[in-house]
Each structure stands twice: as structure tokens, then as C-alpha cells.
């Protein structure tokens, strides 16, 4: 079986499980939405909210990323499927990319919902010039977050303390994405007079981050998951 086929197989399996169980749609998306509302309570003044809307979108994304990653590995460890995948000698790089792909798809949906919520709740405006920058930022950030989430999720998957270990490991690593994505989206939305052209260096950073942790993830996932 070529690696590409196994990657598609595993990604399709994850997405089909989501279609059957609807956990992301019924639990994680509402959680992300309510987080945005809670941010609204905390910051209460509307012009502050409008100014920090991009930052809040990506903060809510990071919190949801943790819950998503725990879910995507819970389905594997509930009945020892990850163990079984390793027993079956399925290539760990394919497992990494398969799960990262499925995670990226779910994360992308989540980000679009959060962005919509920000436009509605926080009164942030979209203007046409920034759309291309916005889309590339979303894609680059999603790839980076999916790679890091799958990698550290795999490490914490087999161990008791994983609920507390995952945030500790993931947050310092995704700091550049939080900074980069927020600044890029600020430029895209033109918040506080940021010009669209200022956003592109940040997209460069996000792209380098995604490539670095994509490669790093492929190499590191096997040893991390192995018994």
C-alpha cells in the first residue's frame, strides 16, 4: 500500500467517525462559540472588542485545538486502535499525516465559524482587499496547528497525565502561530489601520512554521508513539 493511500484511508476514517459521532459539530464547535461570547463578557467595551477581535479568534482556536486533539486521539486509544495500527505495522508517518489531515479539516471548519462569530459579535468588518491574505493565513496557520496538535497529541495519547501535559507542551510551541496569525488577520481586516501589505511577512512565518513542524512531526511521530 503506498503511503499516500494509507494517509487518505486514515483521514477518511477519522472524518467518517466524526460524521457518525458528530462530537465536533455538537460539542467542540459550540464550545468555541461560547468561548467567543465569554471573551465578550470579559472585555465588554465594543471598540476594544473590535480592536482585539483577531486575537480572540486565534485564542479561541488554540483552546479548541486542545479539545480537538484530545478527541482525535481518544477514538484511537479507547479500544487500543493506535496500538493495533502499530501492531499492523502501519507506517507511522502515514498515521501522522492521515490524522493531521483530518484534524486540519476539522480545524479549518472551526476557524471559519470563529471568524464568522467575530464578525457578528465583535463588529469586525471584512473588506475585499484583505480576503486573499485572510485565506492564506487560515490555510498556513491550520497546517501548522494540525501538525503540532497531532505530534504532541500522539505523545500524550498513551499516558495518564495527558490532559494536563498537552496544554503545557503545545502552548509554548504554538506561540509563533498565535502571534503571526493574529497580526496577519489584523492586516487582512484592517483593524487599527493595519495595511494588507504588512500581513505577508507574517504569512511567511506561518508557512515556515507549518513546514518545520510538518517535517519535524513526520520524523518524531513514530518514536513518540512506539511502545
Partner 1 sequence: MTMIDQDPLPPRASTSGTTATRATRLLGLATIMSMAWLVAFGLGFSPADRDQEEAVRILYVHVPTIWIAYLAFVVTALGSAIYLFGRNHSLGFDRLAGASAEIGVAFVAATLVVGSLWGRLTWGVFWRWDARLTTTALLFVSYIGYVAVRRLGGSHHQRARRSAVIGLLAVLEIPLVHWSVRLWRSLHQEATVLDPGGDIDMDGLMLFSLFVGVVSFTLLYVWLLMHRTRSMAMEDLLDEQGLDVALEARRAEASGR
Partner 2 sequence: MPAHGTRIRSLALGGIRHVFSVAAERFGELCDVRLLPPAMDGNPRTVIELDDAVAVLGGFPALAGATLAVGAGEIVLLRGPNGAGKTSLLRLCAGLLPIVRGSGRVLGFDLATERDAIRPRVGLLGHSNGLYADLTVAENVGFWGSTVGATTGEIRAALERLGLAGRLADVRVRTLSAGQRRRTALACVVARRAELWLLDEPHAGLDADGRDELDAVLRQAAASGATIVVASHELERAGSLATRTVDVVAGQIAEQQ
Binding site for partner 1 (CB under 8 A): 151, 155, 159, 161, 165, 168-169, 171-173, 175-176, 179-180, 183, 201-202, 205, 208-209, 212-213, 216, 220, 223-224, 226-227
Task: Report d(CA 13, CA 24) in Å as an integer.
Answer: 15
| Binder of residue 168, out of partner 1, partner 2, none (CB less than 5 to 8 A by kind) | partner 1
CB atoms closer than 10 angstroms to residue 196 = 18
| Binder of residue 90, out of partner 2, partner 1, none (CB less than 5 to 8 A by kind) | partner 2
* 21 is an interface residue for partner 2 by CB under 8 A: yes
Task: Report d(CA 223, CA 216) in Å as an integer.
Answer: 12
- Give the number of residues in contact with partner 2, rule: CB under 8 A: 23
Smallest separation, CB 152 to partner 2 (Å): 22
Cell of 75: 477514538
Block residue for cell numbers 495518564: 160
| Binder of residue 1, out of partner 2, partner 1, none (CB less than 5 to 8 A by kind) | partner 2
Burial of 75 (0-12, 13-18, 19+ CB in 10 A): middle
Among 6, 134, 155, 170, the residue binding partner 2 under the rule CB under 8 A is 6
Any residues with CB less than 8 A from the CB of 71 and at least 6 apart, and which? Answer: 23, 24, 28
| Binder of residue 87, out of partner 1, partner 2, none (CB less than 5 to 8 A by kind) | partner 2
The values of phi and psi at residue 88, to 5°, are: -70, 0
CB atoms closer than 10 angstroms to residue 44 = 9
* 5 is an interface residue for partner 2 by CB under 8 A: yes
Task: Report d(CA 192, CA 27) in Å as an integer.
Answer: 34
Q: Is 15 or 169 the residue whose CB approaches partner 1 more closely?
A: 169
Residues that bind partner 2 (CB under 8 A): 1, 5-6, 9, 13, 16-17, 20-21, 75, 78-81, 83-90, 227
Amino acid at each position: 500500500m503506498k503511503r499516500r493511500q494509507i494517509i487518505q484511508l486514515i483521514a477518511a476514517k477519522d472524518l467518517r467517525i466524526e460524521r457518525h459521532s458528530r462530537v465536533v459539530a455538537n460539542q467542540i464547535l459550540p464550545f468555541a462559540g461560547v468561548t467567543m461570547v465569554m471573551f465578550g463578557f470579559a472585555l465588554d467595551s465594543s471598540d476594544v472588542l473590535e480592536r482585539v477581535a483577531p486575537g480572540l479568534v486565534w485564542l479561541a482556536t488554540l483552546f479548541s485545538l486542545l479539545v480537538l486533539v484530545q478527541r482525535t486521539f481518544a477514538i484511537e486509544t479507547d479500544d487500543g486502535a493506535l496500538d493495533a495500527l502499530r501492531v499492523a505495522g502501519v507506517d507511522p508517518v502515514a498515521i501522522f499525516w492521515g490524522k493531521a489531515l483530518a484534524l486540519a479539516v476539522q480545524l479549518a471548519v472551526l476557524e471559519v465559524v470563529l471568524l464568522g462569530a467575530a464578525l457578528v459579535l465583535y463588529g469586525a468588518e471584512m473588506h475585499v482587499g484583505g480576503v486573499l491574505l485572510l485565506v492564506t493565513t487560515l490555510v498556513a496557520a491550520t497546517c501548522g496547528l494540525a501538525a503540532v496538535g497531532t505530534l504532541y497529541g500522539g505523545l500524550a495519547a498513551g499516558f495518564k497525565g495527558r490532559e494536563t501535559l498537552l496544554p503545557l507542551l503545545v502552548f509554548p510551541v504554538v506561540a509563533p502561530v498565535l502571534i503571526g496569525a493574529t497580526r496577519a488577520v489584523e492586516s487582512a481586516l484592517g483593524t487599527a489601520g493595519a495595511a494588507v501589505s504588512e500581513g505577508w511577512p507574517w504569512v511567511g512565518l506561518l508557512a515556515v512554521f507549518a513546514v518545520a513542524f510538518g517535517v519535524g512531526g513526520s520524523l518524531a511521530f513514530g518514536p513518540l508513539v512506539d511502545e
